[in-house]
Amino acid sequence: MVNLLLIEDSEADAKLVRKCLSEAGRPDFVVKRVDRLSAALGHLEEETPDVILLDLSLPDSLWYQTFEALRDKTAHIPIVILTGTRHETHPAETIRHGAQDYLIKGEMEPRTFTRTILHAIERQKAQNDLRGLNSKIQRNLTEGEKLIRFSQAINAAGQFEELSKLLEITIPNLFQMETFSLFLIEEETRVLKLLSHNHAEWKDLKSPFVIPEDDGLMWHAVKLGNPIHLDRFSMSRFASRAERKRYEKDSAVILPLTAKNIPLGVLNLNDPLEQGLSESNLANIIRVSHHLSLAIYNMNLLRRIENLTVTDELTQIHNRRYLWQGLYREMEAYERHRRPFSILMIDLDHFKRVNDLYGHTAGDRVLKKTSEFLAAQLRSVDFLCRFGGEEFIAVLSDTSGESALNLAERIRRNYAAQKILIDKDRVLNMTISVGVAECSKKEKVTDLIDRADHSLYEAKKSGRNRCSFKKII
């Protein structure tokens, strides 16, 4: 029996949850629903559910404050966030602070829904068990049992954010380390990017912490392919002057993470004791690093597979399939919050001439350069897709038609001002035409696309290198 507390003020969304459970054939799920935060807190004083399904927007509480108020009372209960759109930032923020997962209401499929709930319960149980290593359980467990539980927990983590949280609460105590950090290799840029750590001086980083390929200690370990153990890091050739003072007494273990002969990252561990690590502890660390490497490899593989289904092969931006998914999410968000959004349908002027005069290789280069240019003009909450041929569509969240038109004009001018290198001797000046459409009423996705297409036609008819927008009255 799974006792589920549903905190949701929308009757329609509550029915959707019950429908998913019914269609999944899960009579063992018992759902109790409340529609306010105050009612939820009262319920939790009397009963302890197995899992909480939470809508962040409630009549008596909003967004992150809703999650924080609950989290203070339910640190041991898994919370899964219900959200209306993938582009809302609040669900991601709650996951960074302890929520197990989130579900998008318009995309809930019965089996996926129940699997997400059950995995959240399993992960929370694993995390609760691992926290217990710091109290009475820790004193009773053997080193081998600790390592087995840790390996099980990292294998249960399905996303990198989950893995990061898990390492923060387990690594320091598991190996009695003062500090640790995990960096992953980004294949395209060849940098080490920080994923997880407990360094106080890195707590408030404003931008991603990356280390370009160099002759430093971590990249040296990657190239060497073997762990490096330094009894006194400050005395090594890798320590800078500032680091020699800061880490004067620290010993360090640097473990390159590799699976199937593919370098994946580096795990750094620091011990404040001058004598460093025992041989048995070092052996345990190396053993765990192999499990961690395999978990990271599997996560990378899963992410690549997911990306292939929604990525255009030539331009490496989103494809038409992702466009439809994204537009349905935006439409659902509009119906819920009544915030307009807009789309830009962008077409390369006289693109056929490029293929005819310079060949399809040159045409492909123009498409790639154009997609890179367009993507750089958008915000992180917006997304760009290749619609087909030389047409692109940009979806602009929380953007009126007038604001979208202003952006389209700026993009058009900047694009016309640049030169596109098609080979080492030739550059092209290209222009674009843009059709703008705003979603400010309930309509079909296909109707919105048709209106953008009509605006694009008007821009072309007016002489190309134009933007066109007609507001619906």
What angle in degrees, to the nearest 10, is found between the helix axes of 279-309 and 160-174?
180
Other C-beta atoms closer than 10 Å to the C-beta of 413 total 12
Cα 253 to chain center, whole Å? Answer: 29
pTM: predicted TM-score of the whole model, two decimal places: 0.50
Q: Report residue 101 as tokens.
A: 């997962």
The amino acid occupying position 472 is I
The amino acid occupying position 420 is I
* pLDDT by residue, tens only, the chain of 473 residues: 899 999 998 898 899 889 888 888 888 899 999 999 899 999 898 899 999 998 878 888 776 677 778 877 777 889 998 877 655 555 666 676 678 888 887 778 888 888 889 988 988 888 777 766 555 445 445 667 777 888 888 888 878 888 999 999 888 878 778 889 999 999 888 899 999 998 888 888 878 889 998 878 899 999 999 998 887 776 677 776 666 666 655 678 899 999 989 999 999 988 755 444 677 777 888 888 998 999 999 888 888 877 778 889 899 999 998 899 899 989 888 888 888 999 999 999 999 999 999 999 999 999 999 999 999 999 999 999 999 999 999 999 999 999 999 999 999 999 999 999 988 889 999 999 999 999 978 788 999 999 999 999 999 999 999 999 988 76
Dihedral (CA of 3, 9, 12, 13) sign? negative
CB-based contact 102:83 (threshold 8 Å): yes
Instruction: Please give the domain boundaries of the chain with CATH numbers for all domains.
Output: 1-140 (3.40.50.2300), 159-306 (3.30.450.40), 320-469 (3.30.70.270)
Catalytic residue flag (residue 390): yes
The residue from 8, 330, 390, 438 that is catalytic is 390
